[in-house]
């Protein structure tokens, strides 16, 4: 084994190990601004949505994980096994909020904030369509148990929030 190879290995191994350590939530005593969402991380959540007009069922899976540097929570959501949403949540020190951004396979951009609401989350966001139209929405994420949560999306109509969709997600075994 050459000296250069040994030096490279002795240098690279600590770097790799420290990178893996960063993929964990913040160390004890450090402020973990994403803590209100940690219960969702490391799991695959599934639901089935039924289109009320056609009766067509869509199977949804969402996988959430801590980013490699530990500073954000990444997710990918598939509809009928096809990637549809890809995005992340991160703490924004400028606004002191959890913020999120994600794109759809159709080219939409969603951006918003997530705030603790009881033991769940209130997400307030906008979806910008490929046509440039911006739609303000909000959603509630409410844990039912360690393996189940309820989620909805609401739009404001005539000064009142009206529910557009409600789903129950279950942790995939």
Distance between CA atoms of residues 77 and 86, nearest Å: 6
Distance between CA atoms of residues 135 and 126, nearest Å: 5
**What pLDDT score does 28 carry?**
54
Higher pLDDT, 133 or 4: 133
User: What's 74's domain CATH number?
Assistant: 2.40.128.20
Whether pLDDT at 172 is above 60: yes
- Mean pLDDT across 157-166: 96
The first and second tokens of residue 171, run together, are 């942790």
**What pLDDT score does 173 carry?**
72
The first and second tokens of residue 72, run together, are 């954000």
Please indicate, yes or no, whether the overall pTM of this predicted structure exceeds 0.85: no
Whether pLDDT at 24 is above 90: no
When the pLDDT of each residue in the chain is averaged and rounded to a whole number, the result is: 86
In our burial notation (b when 16+ CB lie closer than 10 A, e otherwise), range 49-77 reads eeeeeeeeeeebbbebbbeeebebbbbbb
Nearest residue to 110 (alpha-carbon basis) of 129, 88, 133, 127: 127
Higher pLDDT, 107 or 24: 107
**What pLDDT score does 10 carry?**
37
pLDDT band at 88 (very low <50, low <70, confident <90, very high): very high
Whether pLDDT at 20 is above 80: no
HSE-up of residue 112 (Cα within 13 Å, Cβ side): 20
pLDDT band at 31 (very low <50, low <70, confident <90, very high): confident
Whether pLDDT at 62 is above 80: yes
Whether pLDDT at 27 is above 90: no
Its domain, for residue 31, covers: 3-171
Q: How many domains does the chain have?
A: 1
* Percent above pLDDT 90 for the chain: 79
pLDDT band at 63 (very low <50, low <70, confident <90, very high): very high
Element (H, E) at 14: helix 3-22
């Amino acid at each position: 084994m050459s000296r250069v190879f040994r030096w490279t290995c002795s240098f690279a191994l600590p770097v790799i190990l420290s990178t893996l350590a960063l993929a964990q939530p913040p160390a004890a005593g450090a402020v973990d601004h994403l803590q209100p969402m940690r219960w969702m991380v490391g799991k695959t959540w599934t639901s089935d949505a039924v289109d009320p007009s056609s009766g067509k069922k869509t199977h949804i899976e969402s996988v959430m994980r801590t980013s490699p540097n530990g500073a954000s929570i990444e997710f990918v959501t598939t509809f009928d096994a096809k990637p549809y949403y890809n995005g992340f949540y991160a703490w924004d020190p400028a606004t002191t909020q959890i913020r999120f951004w994600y794109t759809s396979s159709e080219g939409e951009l969603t951006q918003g904030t997530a705030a603790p609401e009881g033991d769940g989350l209130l997400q307030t966001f906008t979806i910008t369509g490929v046509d440039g139209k911006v739609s303000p929405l909000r959603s509630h994420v409410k844990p039912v148990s360690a393996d189940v949560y309820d989620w909805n999306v609401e739009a404001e109509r005539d000064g009142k929030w009206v529910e557009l969709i409600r789903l129950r997600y279950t942790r995939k075994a």
